[in-house]
């Protein structure tokens, strides 16, 4: 790759020790897929905690004075303990869409800037959500299995699905991802409503002040909000009951937003129509009861994991870190105001 060639040339001219350090706690998925030099820059170097035999606290103590930034892919939490061991830490960048793995309170306290994925992953998340909804209603994965097992020719026509057009879609969390989902489903003739922490004045969709009311008034509930203390088990027995037996739930946000035990019970008993799930409460463990259900479509937490997103995110993260070390404004700063 061109960037790699340029980097090795530059490194032969600069002394390695001149470049500021960016700490990586665990290897990010992009390293595993595209190699260690995927995120190289001529303006900084990586300090890979995972390559050291030392336990993390010791490693951090040893390098306490060198680390000015942490790059997190979301696989390793950036805890208050970690932050406290790094007095020179000024920036945490993450490629993850969610921020619940970073102790934002501690960052705010210390004046540490945080840069995220911005809206760069929103399209992929939205595409997944829409894909799941069509799949569940039209039984795409289930019918594909049917055909590939040779059952079309031996057992005949597959049971009918349900029309997407005209369905009432309720979006939980109308942020960047929720907005992209709404824009797409609007084109399919769905009517959109939402619940968010606050009503959005310029938006043409119907606002419901709580999720139970939203669920009672929609045919498909799509979870697009962040995981916080307030949203833990937001989708509970009451919400699922309000959604009802013709309702579908799609979760491309975080597993713990949904009371998984209750969801599984509803699905097994036929109390809701179906579900599309990219995330689970205890990944990679998935309730085995779901494996027998044709009205459930699942994926292994990869709603944002497209080749294009890796490339775009990589460039964005490097850009944020370079901006930080050049004292320029971050490209995608996260507001830490509570």
| Distance, CA of 131 to CA of 145 (rounded, Å) | 17
Binding residues for other proteins, how many (CB under 8 A)?
Answer: 60
283 binds other proteins (CB under 8 A): yes
Shortest distance in whole angstroms from residue 105 CB to other proteins: 27
Which DSSP state fits 50?
Answer: G
Known catalytic residue at 81: no
Residues 310, 316, 320, 322: what is their CA dihedral angle, to the nearest 10 degrees?
90
Known catalytic residue at 260: no
**Beta carbons within 10 angstroms of residue 17's beta carbon:** 8
| Distance, CA of 294 to CA of 136 (rounded, Å) | 9
Contact of 171 with 224, CB cutoff 8 Å: yes
**Annotated catalytic residue within 101, 233, 301, 322:** 301
Which residue is it, tokens 């139970």?
212
Footprint (CB under 8 A) of other proteins, residues 127-156: 127-128, 130-132, 134-135, 137-141, 143-148, 150, 152-153, 156
Residue 284: asked if its preceding bond is cis (omega within 30°), the reply is: yes
**Residue (279 or 334) nearer to other proteins, CB:** 279
Known catalytic residue at 233: no
291 binds other proteins (CB under 8 A): yes
**Sheet strands side by side (includes 91-94):** 45-48, 21-24, 67-72, 91-94, 113-115
**Annotated catalytic residue within 63, 106, 180, 254:** 254
**Residue (106 or 135) nearer to other proteins, CB:** 135
Footprint (CB under 8 A) of other proteins, residues 233-252: none
157-176 mask for other proteins (x: CB under 8 A)?
A: xx-xxxxxx-----------
Shortest distance in whole angstroms from residue 153 CB to other proteins: 5
Maximum Cα–Cα distance across the chain: 70
Q: Which helix (H) or strand (E) holds 254?
A: none
298 binds other proteins (CB under 8 A): yes
Binding site for other proteins (CB under 8 A): 29, 32-33, 75, 123-124, 126-128, 130-132, 134-135, 137-141, 143-148, 150, 152-153, 156-158, 160-165, 183-184, 186-189, 283-284, 286, 288, 291, 297-302, 305-310
Residues acting as catalytic residues: 254, 283, 301
């Amino acid at each position: 790759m061109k960037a790699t060639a340029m980097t090795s040339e530059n490194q032969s001219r600069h002394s390695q020790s001149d470049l500021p350090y960016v700490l990586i706690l665990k290897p990010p998925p992009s390293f595993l897929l595209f190699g260690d030099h995927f995120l190289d820059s001529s303006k900084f170097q990586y300090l890979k905690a995972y390559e050291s035999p030392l336990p993390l606290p010791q490693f951090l103590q040893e390098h306490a004075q060198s680390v000015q930034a942490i790059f997190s892919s979301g696989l390793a939490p950036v805890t208050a303990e970690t932050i406290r061991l790094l007095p020179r830490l000024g920036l945490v960048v993450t490629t993850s869409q969610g921020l619940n793995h970073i102790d934002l309170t501690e960052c705010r306290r210390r004046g540490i800037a945080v840069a995220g994925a911005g809206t760069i992953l929103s399209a992929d998340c939205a595409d997944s959500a829409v894909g799941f909804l069509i799949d569940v209603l039209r039984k795409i994965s289930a019918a594909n299995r049917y055909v590939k097992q040779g059952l079309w020719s031996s057992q005949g026509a597959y049971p009918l699905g349900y029309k997407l057009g005209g369905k009432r879609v309720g979006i939980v969390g109308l942020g960047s991802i929720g907005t992209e989902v709404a824009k797409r489903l609007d084109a399919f003739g769905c009517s959109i409503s939402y619940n968010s922490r606050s009503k959005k004045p310029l938006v043409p969709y119907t606002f419901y002040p709580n999720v139970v009311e939203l669920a009672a008034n929609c045919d498909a509930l799509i979870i697009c909000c962040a995981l916080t203390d307030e949203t833990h088990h937001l989708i509970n027995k009451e919400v699922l009951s309000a959604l009802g037996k013709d309702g579908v739930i799609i979760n491309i946000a975080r597993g713990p937003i949904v009371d998984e035990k209750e969801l599984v019970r509803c699905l097994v008993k036929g109390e809701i129509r179906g579900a599309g799930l990219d995330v689970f409460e205890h990944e990679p463990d998935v309730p085995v009861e779901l494996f027998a259900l044709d009205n459930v479509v699942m994926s292994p937490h990869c709603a944002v994991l497209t080749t294009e997103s890796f490339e775009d995110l990589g460039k964005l993260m490097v850009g944020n870190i370079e901006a930080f070390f050049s004292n320029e404004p971050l490209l995608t700063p996260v507001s830490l105001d509570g």
